[in-house]
Amino acid sequence: MSIDDFSKCAMTYCIKSKSKTASYFKEYINLVENQFDKKVKKVQCDNGKEYLNQEINNFIREKGTQMLPCPPYVHGLNRVAERYNRSAMDIGRCLLKEARIDKCYWPEIIETVSYCNGRSTVLVFTRPATLPGPCQGGRAVLGLQGR
């Protein structure tokens, strides 16, 4: 899961193994930089080893981006991603139970939750109304959460 710190827009990727994280990470960074014509300056992540490896370090260094890993067991520093992850898991479990859906559809449920959260009218934005879209913020700082 990747969250833009300014707009709180989240993108969720369901992967089978943590070894695929680097390829999805690169895909996401390139997508953000190409689509919104903004450079990602900082990436904040939990202290998961899926983000702190040589492949991602080389990619970050080439891009000139700063990696900010949170210290172990200090989840408050990555609060936006932690809160989003907790909410997505709770909503996903409720959908799974209410609809009586088999657990094999968990990735699709989480993608649906992410899709619906991005289009929710419940959120109140305190940011300036000059944003041209829900995912286009002025700063490009990402909060990453690995599970």
Residue 130 lies in a domain: no
Mean pLDDT in residue range 50-75: 88
Strand partners, 4: 142
Instruction: Tell me, rounded to whole angstroms, the distance of Cα 85 from its chain centroid.
Output: 9
CATH number assigned to the domain comprising residue 85: 3.30.420.10
**Domain extent for 63:** 2-122+140-144
Residue 134 lies in a domain: no
The answer to whether 146 and 45 have CB atoms below 8 angstroms apart is yes
The answer to whether 34 and 63 have CB atoms below 8 angstroms apart is no
Residue 122: the pLDDT is 52
Confidence at 120, pLDDT banded by 50, 70, 90? low
Residue 34 lies in a domain: yes
Residue 104 lies in a domain: yes
Mean pLDDT in residue range 29-50: 86
pTM for the predicted model, two decimal places: 0.70
Residue 137: the pLDDT is 45
Q: Residue 53: pLDDT above 70? A: yes
Mean pLDDT in residue range 26-44: 89
Distance CA 85, CA 103 (A): 18
Strand partners, 141: 42
